[in-house]
Amino acid sequence: MQGSTMDGYAKNTYFFDARKALDEALKRKRVRTSHPDIDALQVCYYDGEVLPDAPENCINVPVGNLYTYLLTTRNRLPEDLNFEGKEFSDDVKVQLARAIVEVLEAVYRDRAVLQQQLSDEARNLKPDFGRGLRFFLSASRQTAVMRHVSKNIADTLAKLGYDVCFSIEENEMEQLSALHHLQRYLDFKPNVTININHMNNAHLHENVYNFVWFQDPMPVLLGTEPISLRKRDYVYHLVEHIKVLLDNKHIPSHYQPFCINTDLYHPRPEIVRENKIVFIGSSYRDRLSGDPRDEAVLHDLKRLLEDGNITDEEVAMIASRHGSTTEFVHLLIGYLLRDYLVLELCRCNTPYAIELYGWGWDAYPEFKPFYKGMLSYGEEISKIYNSAALAFVPAQHVIQQRTLEAAASGAIPLVYDYRNASESEPEEVAEGVIYFRTLGELRQILNRPVPNDKHPEKLVYRHTYEGFVETIIRTVQQGLAHS
């Protein structure tokens, strides 16, 4: 068996020879995760005696203890076997491989049983409000945005003096499942839970308050299965499109715009602001399925973009014309406003320097002169915005995470004008961003000096985590007062 994949990534491996495991672990190889631009550290398990001074990713699990260890470990499970260094016959190798496959099958089966037991236990755990509010949030390291939103909420609550449990992987070797989160939940005994993009209410006692903030069109919203809503579930939507999906599920919701962590994103006077425009974000080229309809739909959408006329009515007509759904067309609009407009930005003859950051842009030869690599969440992103006059943030929504990150860091957001004719906007949005609706308008803006009548900092005041957290606390307190 091989311990690596065709693309150069390794696999989490069980070694029968401890020295081979140590040699591999010391190479600090990377493994793929479920997210395309998030990888992790390879875990090397080994049989036999404990090696002294082995690195943290070289873990001793004697083969006889494999089931017991794997049943509850937070670390990722082995995906491959390595027999190097052992004089096993082919028959013995086959027998060992079969035995370990059976162990893994038993682990997955028994984890599901244990998870159901813990879920039942949690459902019967009546919350105690006598000790004050206790907040539980869970997230996965294998998400690009949701984990940061959850952590910002958790940090805000902690700063206000509340007891908070934030359940997430603690290192690059871990991969938590619902089983692990349930264990933390039962140990912590919360009375309020907060979730991003997931209801996570099946295991909750009826008296536990649950706040859910949908930021994306998740499968549970797009599918046909009904959503179970408890009396103490409170649901929020990020944008109007999510509200419509929730309405279709008969789920009442409240508007909650993006929030910004001003401890991370803020001006830094020591960084010189240059005459440049930056784009930070991932490519959406993976939204192209290869279906011939993709090109046909994109052709119609490009025409609408040229005319500055992408409306809900036009989207519905395109979906009908090509035998598709409006959800599919919206996915391609996301690609159009991301990859296609970034390409048009780079083609512009402009005095502004252009810089691109994020996953996937290195796959385009056209972007090679502009691509500067990947950035870490938080200060690293803010510092790039600190150094730029303009931030290019075209999307289907004006107020999005990158808009606020740029504005809080002092760069003026240059945004695609996706507003409907009847749609009003808060004054601080108009004062804080530069709109464009057509490629012609974009080219004109990029050949004018930076406007001095824009105040991006005004965008920040209405979009803080403190405001959202205060809404949650107030809702719970009012509910308890009337219960």
In a domain, 119, yes or no: no
pLDDT tens column, 340-356: 999 999 999 999 999 99
In a domain, 7, yes or no: no
Rounded to 5 degrees, what are φ and ψ at 255? -75, 130
**DSSP string of 203-267?**
T--TTSEEEEEE-S--HHHHSSSPPP--TTEEEEESSHHHHHHHHHTT---EE----B-TTTS--
CA distances from 373 to 34, 142, 296, 343, 380 (A): 21, 20, 32, 16, 12
Whether residues 164 and 245 fall in one domain = yes
**Residue 442 sits in which domain range?**
274-463
- 294 or 25: which leads in pLDDT: 25
In a domain, 347, yes or no: yes
d(CA 399, CA 463): 9
- 1 or 28: which leads in pLDDT: 28
Whether residues 311 and 450 fall in one domain = yes
**DSSP string of 138-191?**
E--TT-SSHHHHHHHHHHHHHHTT-EEEEE--SSTTB---HHHHHHHHHHH--S
Ramachandran sector of residue 200 (left: φ over 0; alpha: ψ -120 to 50; beta: rest): left
Whether residues 139 and 80 fall in one domain = no
In a domain, 126, yes or no: no
Whether residues 282 and 254 fall in one domain = no
Whether residues 470 and 457 fall in one domain = no
In a domain, 158, yes or no: yes
Last residue of some domain: 93, 108, 123?
108
In a domain, 267, yes or no: no
CATH code (residue 291): 3.40.50
Number of separate helices (H) and strands (E) present in the chain? 17, 17
Give the tokens for residue 306.
Answer: 């040229």
Give the tokens for residue 325.
Answer: 């759904």
Whether residues 343 and 376 fall in one domain = yes
CA distances from 1 to 67, 83, 141, 461 (A): 21, 8, 28, 56
Q: What domain count does the chain have?
A: 3
Residue 325 has pLDDT above 90, yes or no: no
Whether residues 447 and 405 fall in one domain = yes
Whether residues 29 and 161 fall in one domain = no
Give the residue among 415, 457, 465, 464 at the shortest CA–CA distance from 267: 457
Residue 422 pLDDT: 44
Whether residues 51 and 80 fall in one domain = yes
Contacts with 35 (C-beta within 8 Å, 6 or more apart), sequence order: 142, 143, 144
Residue 294 near residue 340, CB atoms below 8 Å: no
In a domain, 60, yes or no: yes
Whether residues 458 and 471 fall in one domain = no
Confidence of residue 426 (pLDDT cuts 50, 70, 90): low
Residue 196 near residue 146, CB atoms below 8 Å: yes
What is the layout of strands, in order, in the sheet containing 44-46?
Answer: 58-60, 44-46, 13-15, 80-82
Instruction: Work out the average pLDDT over 449-476.
Output: 90
pLDDT tens column, 375-415: 988 899 999 999 999 999 998 888 888 999 999 999 999 99
Give the residue among 360, 412, 377 at the shortest CA–CA distance from 36: 360
Residue 471 pLDDT: 95
Whether residues 243 and 319 fall in one domain = no
In a domain, 390, yes or no: yes
Residue 173 pLDDT: 97
Whether residues 324 and 337 fall in one domain = yes
